[in-house]
Every structure is written in structure tokens, then in C-alpha cells.
Amino acid sequence: MNKLKLRNMLDSFLLEDIGDQDITSEAIFPENQTGKGVFIAKEAGTLSGLDIITEAYHLLDSRIEVKLHFNDGDQVNQQDTIAEVYGPVRHLLTGERVILNLLQRMSGIATMTSKAVETLNDPSITICDTRKTTPGLRLLDKYSVITGGGKNHRNGLYDGVMIKDNHISYCGSIAQAVKKARAAIGHMVKIEVETENEEEVLEAVQAGADVIMFDNRTPEEIKAFVSLVPDSIITEASGGITLDNLAAYANTGVDYISLGALTHSVKALDISLQVNDGEKK
């Protein structure tokens, strides 16, 4: 994860929460009062975003010491100690909520991605994400998918051409849309076309698409469509695929399965910060 981008994001997130000051912590605790905090996993899952603990606390106070017990991508069990922090109490508490919000969300995404890979149980197919991320959190969301064993689709509208049904409707045909896009982009940019039936798949192949997506198709339809696509063209399945039916898409021959649910319907992993007044250990 890009540390400069992360620090800029954390700076903004902390300012949003703190405003002018943390009235409660600063009213109760003197600057020199120190304590220890322990991040505890309240349920089993896959961790992501551990750098946030260090980076966020160091933005608040460089004196805070952070000891991580795990790495991103590691599995934790209930009651495992994820990290220990030691430093001024007022700053430990000021950063607590922002850090937990991000750590819980990112670990939830990594956990769901890991479950998706395990559920599919087909190493020939790669699980990937979509652009269905929370605005402002895409960098963190997509990083979490990677730590959970998945891959990233487009990062945004800027790094890949994806011709969807509405583009095709306005343009008139897949062939015309691909032709116009190819003429406008550089040789390093790939073109993906979304298809819904055999006719569209064949048109996308003929137009020279680099990637063909099968949108909202059954496993049986996908198997049939894959047989129409040359090996030189990447295939992807998306739409209507969830953890509940994902296993049915194994052995369909598709290269990628993209799941919007990895980021837009994620359940945060339950993590808490327990603090005490004791000495550092």
C-alpha cells in the first residue's frame, strides 16, 4: 500500500473526527499520562490494514510505540492479540475510533475475499473486485482484496476501457464502440466488453476485445460462451454471483470472477482496543 497516500488519507480522516480537539480526552488526561492498549480480535478472520495502527498513531504522537503481532493476510482466531500500543493515554484514545473503523472494514473485506477463494476452490479462476467501493476508501478496499487472496479489477475509469451495455446502446454496436475506443487509447490499455448472449460474445471476439465479460449468466451459459472465445482473449464472469452460489461457477473455464459484494456488502471483522494504566510489557 502506498504510504504517502495512506498518510494523506489518515490525516484527513483524523481531522474529520478530531476537529479542533478531542475535548473528552484532553479534559481528563494530562499530556504526560501514559498507558497501554491492546488490539484484540473478537472473532476469527483475515487481517488487513495493520500499517494503519502505526501510521495513524504516529500522526498523532511520534512517541507512541506500536508492536504488531501479525502481518496483513494472516489468519487470526478469537481473542488473539493483534497489536500492542504504548504512549500518552489521550492520544491512544483519540485515534482509537478511526483506526478501528478502518482496520475492521479492511479485515472484513480480506476475510470475505479469503472465503470466496476457498468457496470457489478452483485455482484456475481468479477472484477479483469491482469499482463498487465506498468513495474515498478505494485504495484501502482494493488493497484488502489483495491481502485476502484476490486480485484487483480496474482501479477506476482511467486505467482500462470497459464497454458496458449503455455504452453499446449509445454507440450503436459493440464493433463501433471497440473501434472508437481502440483509435483513442494507447497500446498499453486493454479493452473489455460486457456481453449477455452468444451474438454479443461473437461480435466482441470479432471486434478484437482484449477481455470479454459474461454478465449475469448461469454456469452452463458461461461454459458455452467460453468455448466461443479464443485463448488469447481473457474471459470474466460477473453479476448475480454470491458466496452462496459461487461454488457452482468452478470448472466453467472462465479466467476471472468479479464480485462487487467483496467491497459493497462487507461485514466488518470485530476488533476492539482494550486499554489499561499499567506499565509497558
| Secondary structure percentages of the chain, helix, strand, coil, to 5 | 40, 20, 40
Catalytic site includes residue 231: no
Picking from 63, 264, 256, the residue whose alpha carbon sits closest to that of residue 160 is 256
251 and 272 share a domain?
no
Q: In this structure, is residue 15 part of a structural domain?
A: yes
- In this prediction, residue 278 has a pLDDT band, given cuts at 50, 70 and 90, of very low
Residues 99 and 192 both lie in one domain: no
Q: How many domains does the chain have?
A: 2
The per-residue pLDDT for range 24-56, each reduced to its tens digit, is 999 999 999 999 999 999 999 999 999 999 999
Question: 205 near 174, Cβ under 8 Å?
Answer: no
164 assigned to active site: yes
CB-CB contact of 73 with 46 (8 Å)? yes
Question: Does position 111 have pLDDT exceeding 80, yes or no?
Answer: yes
- The sign of the dihedral angle between the CA atoms of 245, 42, 70, 132 is positive
- The partner residues of 195 in beta bridges, in order of sequence, read 214
Q: Same domain for 17 and 124?
A: no
CA–CA dist 82, 66 (Å, integer): 11
pLDDT for 277 beyond 70: no
Same structural domain, 61 and 189: no
Q: What is the pLDDT of residues 230-250, one digit of tens each?
A: 999 999 999 999 999 999 999
9 and 138: one domain? Answer: no
Other CB atoms within a 10 A radius of the CB of residue 101 amount to 14
Distance in angstroms (rounded) separating the CA atoms of residues 208 and 156: 22
Answer whether residue 74 shows pLDDT above 70.
yes
Is 281 among the domain residues?
Answer: no
Q: Domain holding 22: CATH number? A: 3.90.1170.20
Active-site entry in 5, 63, 164, 180: 164
The residue type of 164 is K
**How far is the first Cα of the chain from the last one, in angstroms, to the nearest whole number?**
30
Cell of 29: 488526561
Q: Are residues 53 and 86 in the same domain?
A: yes
In a shared domain, residues 14 and 36? yes
* Contact between 103 and 39 (Cβ < 8 Å): yes
pLDDT in the model for residue 280: 43
| 106-123 average pLDDT score | 98
**Domain presence at residue 191:** yes
Report the pLDDT value the prediction gives residue 193, as an integer from 0 to 100. Answer: 98
The verdict on whether 194 is a catalytic residue reads: yes
**Out of 129, 141, 192, 194, which one is annotated catalytic?**
194
Q: How far is Cα 151 from Cα 216, in angstroms, rounded to an integer?
A: 20
Residue type, 185: I
199 assigned to active site: no
The CATH number of the domain where 147 resides is what? Answer: 3.20.20.70
Range list of H helices, 19-137: 23-28, 51-60, 89-94, 96-120
Q: What distances in angstroms separate CA 44 from CA 51, 171, 273, one per listed residue?
A: 20, 49, 16
Domain assignment present for 37: yes
251 occurs within a structural domain: yes
Say what the pLDDT of residue 271 is: 98
Residue-wise pLDDT tens digits, 164-184: 999 999 999 999 999 999 999
Report if residue 132 sits inside a domain.
yes
pTM of the model: 0.94
Q: Are residues 129 and 90 located together in one domain of the fold?
A: no
- 88 with 28, same domain: the answer is yes
Q: Are residues 70 and 139 in the same domain?
A: no
What is the residue-averaged pLDDT of the chain?
A: 95
Q: Tell me what the mean pLDDT of segment 214-228 comes to.
A: 97
Active site residue 215: yes
Residue 245 included in any domain: yes
| DSSP 8-state symbol, 249 | G
Tell me which of 26, 84, 210, 215 is the catalytic residue.
215
Residue-number span of the structural domain to which 141 is assigned: 113-264
Q: Are residues 96 and 183 in the same domain?
A: no
In which band, very low, low, confident or very high, does the pLDDT at 263 lie, cut at 50, 70 and 90?
Answer: very high
Shared domain for 36 and 130, answered yes or no, is: no
